[in-house]
Amino acid sequence: MSLMIIKRGIPEAFRGAVSNSITQAKEYLDEIEKHFVKSNKVETSTILNSLISIKYKGKGNVREYIIEMSHLASKLKALNLELSDDTLVHLVLISLPNQFSQFQINYNCQREKWTPNELISHYVQEEERLKQNKAESAYLASTPKYKGNKRKHEATKGPYVKKQKQDTDKKGCFFCNKPDHVKKECPK
């Protein structure tokens, strides 16, 4: 294939990026490919940043969250940055909310170290325990005894309303500022 045919199909932005001394199409395509090479450093940095900054927000279950973190760690392994299982377990422990703090303390007091799979099974049990404890505590809601006008009438008899009436009596008329009457009784 002719180099001239290839050069016609290339946008203007790339025509100046490749030197004119290249005469073969293969060399030309190799030179253009160098402009689109993906940097492993950037990808490693992005994945590592997301692995460190990820937080469990309580939505979904813990198993899926830990599996997602393990998946990010396996992507790093493919990019020649391998995290040990211990490091991954500690990253998971750090990223979980305070409701799992007692579980984290128990893990730190043990001598044995867990693999991510063991961590998943223990956390699923802990999550179920927390759900059961949450289900046991219920809130009591009651309905008011009085409905309709009686309730409205009771609200107007409160201490705030009485205070307002007293304040208006002390000030007097808002229109002429005389203390002996109120605005609706004002002769002006």
Q: What is the mean pLDDT of residues 11-16?
A: 55
Q: What is the mean pLDDT of residues 5-25?
A: 60
The neighbour count for residue 73, using CB atoms within 10 Å, is 22
- Backbone φ, ψ for residue 38 (5° rounding): -85, 135
Q: Which secondary-structure segment (H or E) carries 35?
A: helix 25-35
Q: What is the mean pLDDT of residues 139-157?
A: 58
Tell me the C-alpha distance between 131 and 97, whole Å.
Answer: 15
Residue 169 has pLDDT above 50, yes or no: no
64: helix, strand or coil: helix
Q: In terms of pTM, does the model score above 0.85? A: no
More confident residue, 132 or 160: 132
Length reported for the chain: 188
Residue percentage of the chain with pLDDT more than 70: 65
Model confidence pLDDT, tens digit, residues 41-98: 888 888 999 988 888 887 777 888 888 999 999 998 888 888 888 888 889 888 888 8
Tell me the C-alpha distance between 54 and 47, whole Å.
Answer: 10
Q: Is 12 exposed, middle or buried (0-12, 13-18, 19+ CB in 10 A)?
A: exposed
Task: Write down the pLDDT at residue 188.
Answer: 77
Q: Is 65 exposed, middle or buried (0-12, 13-18, 19+ CB in 10 A)?
A: buried
More confident residue, 9 or 66: 66
Tokens 């402009």 locate to 35
Residue 155 has pLDDT above 60, yes or no: no
Least confident window among 20-34, 109-123, 127-141, 171-185: 127-141
Model confidence pLDDT, tens digit, residues 113-144: 888 888 888 888 887 887 787 765 556 666 66
- Backbone φ, ψ for residue 77 (5° rounding): -65, -40
- Domain range list for the chain: 3-35, 40-136, 149-185
Tell me the C-alpha distance between 50 and 77, whole Å.
Answer: 15
CB-based contact 18:40 (threshold 8 Å): no
Least confident window among 31-35, 79-83, 121-125, 169-173: 169-173
Task: Write down the pLDDT at residue 72.
Answer: 92
Closest CA to 33 of 20, 18, 11: 18
Residue 8 has pLDDT above 80, yes or no: no
